[in-house]
Amino acid sequence: MVRPMTGEFQSADFIVVGAGIAGASAAYELARAGAYVIIAEMEEQPGYHTTGRSAATFVNSYGNDVIRGLNALSLPFFEAPPDGFGEHPLLSERGTMYIAGTDELEALDQFLAEPPNAGLLTRLTPDQALAMSPALNPEIVAGAAFEEAARDIDVNALLMGYLRGFQAAGGKLVVGAEIKSLLRRAGKWEAETPVGILSAPIIINAAGAWGDDLAYLAGARPVGLVPKRRTALTIDPGEPIADWPLTISLDETWYFRPEAGDLLISPADETPSPPCDSQPDELDIARCIDRIQSVTRLRINRLVSKRAGLRTFVHDKTPVVGFADDVDGFFWLAGQGGYGIQTSPALARMTVALAGGGEMPDELIERGITTAAVGPMRLLTA
């Protein structure tokens, strides 16, 4: 049942739902390609949900083959964004070190031997690993792999650069604009929000953890998005840490990295959650402290800050990008999981091509990234 629509009526070529990194980057590229785009964001602040809660790293060797292709195609944007994008560099030096225990040495060998990791990862001895990340408990380090090219991302500069560029290209960001209902009429969507009605032939679903909820509103089949809560705490390490790399267990059960003078620590949890304003759970906080104390010599008496965010995946951990086949004009840009910041430039370019009615760009095809690999149809069984 669609409620009567009230308020101001605004028309565009595209409505992008969500002003996280996915929506902001796609809207930027669409506006620069000449489209009139409105971003509808339900919060007052862009980036309030997962985008504002990430670990802010660019790790080339992270993710499945599709993700690694997207990483490679996104890197040039981070290294040399378009003129006027922003005053600050988007990347700064960090490095990522994967730590393997005695029962993981075979897995470490396999990881180092993966073709995409050739020339990217260096094997380290336990002594070398401990020299780089001196808080580690020597007993848990049997081997390590180091990605020197991994970088910190200035996520705020990236998000603001996209939104500024979007507005400079004529786009309009509307906040406090939760899409409450969707009606398809005469080849256009009419989206009811508390601040008025937005209309466009195409909706881009960049609603993060709420992606399947938006599909329900449109009458489209959901794709099986599962938001998974991840906890990130910061502590005062009491010693200089600026040079420490992101240090992560090979099986991704804990990590730590410097963040603005403090040390970010995480149990790398992946607890399924409904879409919500995610908050850290007391048990996860206790687990995090316990785990980090067991893999380091750090003793944690006080937290500087705590946060949690939802990393939203479909079962194959590959993003969902493409038009729905069951309703017209409904475009998916969802399921970016734990890689949505670092892959945003390539996913945004893909969105412009496909949502504009074109083919998958050659740069993506050359990396084996096809419409079948990322499209929603692979997930629709019912």
Ligand X SMILES: Cc1cc2nc3c(=O)[nH]c(=O)nc-3n(C[C@H](O)[C@H](O)[C@H](O)COP(=O)(O)OP(=O)(O)OC[C@H]3O[C@@H](n4cnc5c(N)ncnc54)[C@H](O)[C@@H]3O)c2cc1C
Question: Six-digit token pair at 258?
Answer: 């410097």
| CA angle (376 as vertex; 373, 382 as ends), nearest 5 | 120
C-beta of 131: minimal distance to ligand X in Å? 24
Sign of CA dihedral 248, 251, 252, 255: negative
**Cα 143 from Cα 150, distance rounded (Å):** 19
- CB nearer to ligand X: pick between 104 and 212: 212
- CB nearer to ligand X: pick between 143 and 231: 231
| CA angle (247 as vertex; 242, 249 as ends), nearest 5 | 170
C-beta of 95: minimal distance to ligand X in Å? 14
- CB nearer to ligand X: pick between 148 and 178: 178
C-beta of 278: minimal distance to ligand X in Å? 8
- CB nearer to ligand X: pick between 142 and 251: 251
Question: Six-digit token pair at 4?
Answer: 């009567």
C-beta of 125: minimal distance to ligand X in Å? 27
DSSP 91: E
C-beta of 311: minimal distance to ligand X in Å? 5
**Cα 202 from Cα 361, distance rounded (Å):** 20
Give the contacts of 363 (CB within 8 A, at least 6 positions apart): 73, 349
Give the up-direction half-sphere exposure of residue 25: CA atoms within 13 A in the CB hemisphere.
30
**Cα 151 from Cα 335, distance rounded (Å):** 23
- CB nearer to ligand X: pick between 296 and 312: 312
Q: Which residues bind ligand X (CB under 6 A)?
A: 17-23, 40-43, 48-51, 53-57, 177-179, 206-210, 214, 230, 232, 309, 311, 336-342
C-beta of 297: minimal distance to ligand X in Å? 24
**Cα 226 from Cα 298, distance rounded (Å):** 33
- CB nearer to ligand X: pick between 69 and 309: 309
| CA angle (210 as vertex; 207, 212 as ends), nearest 5 | 105
Q: Would you give the end-to-end CA distance of the chain in angstroms?
A: 23
- CB nearer to ligand X: pick between 49 and 221: 49
- CB nearer to ligand X: pick between 204 and 298: 204
C-beta of 230: minimal distance to ligand X in Å? 4
C-beta of 304: minimal distance to ligand X in Å? 16
- What are the residue ranges of helices labelled H in the chain? 21-32, 65-79, 105-113, 126-132, 155-168, 211-218, 282-295, 344-355, 362-365, 371-374
